[in-house]
Amino acid sequence: MGTVATGSTRTVGSWKTGLFFLIFAVVGLGACASSGSGGSSGSRNVLTHEQLAETQAPDVLFAIQQLRPRWLQPRGQSIQGRTVLLFIDGAPRGEATDLRGMQISNVEDITYYTASEAGFRFGSLGGAGGVLEVRTRR
């Protein structure tokens, strides 16, 4: 009988080990999938240099108009007087429309922040219509 019990213990132990590795694999793959690190779509709030360059737009403003036109539309209960502000390398630089004429080759990426995100990130400098933050290539 001792042999039978040992055999069933090994079977139960193997089953538990297999289940552990299955759960580990599923959780691990789920974490990779949700991080966005392997996908080509990326974040809806970030445009990379590569995405901008693919548009073959004459400037950054035109590329944003093609890829994320909603970023340029102020949001809020009353949009009167609200504009999407522009930050370049962390410093305020005017409004999003000031991106007209900026060369795509100079841009590393662009991040869009809603009004509430902008207030949290930039404090009183955050725009009521949102903020576009441009990181330049150095």
Q: 93 and 123: one domain?
A: yes
> What does the pLDDT average to over 10-17?
59
Q: What is the DSSP letter of 80?
A: T
**pLDDT of res. 49:** 97
Q: 27 and 56: one domain?
A: no
Q: 72 and 130: one domain?
A: yes
Tell me the residue range of the domain where 127 lies. Answer: 46-136
**pLDDT of res. 10:** 52
**Count of the separate structural domains present in the chain:** 2
Q: 35 and 50: one domain?
A: no
Q: Which residue has the tokens 């000031």?
A: 98
Q: How far apart are CA 126 and CA 87, in angstroms?
A: 10
pLDDT in tens, 30-71: 433 333 333 344 688 999 999 999 999 999 999 999 999 999
Phi then psi for residue 126, to 5 deg, are -65, 140
Q: 3 and 62: one domain?
A: no
Sorting pLDDT into bands at 50, 70 and 90, what band is 18? low
pLDDT in tens, 84-129: 999 999 999 999 999 999 999 999 999 999 988 988 898 877 777 8
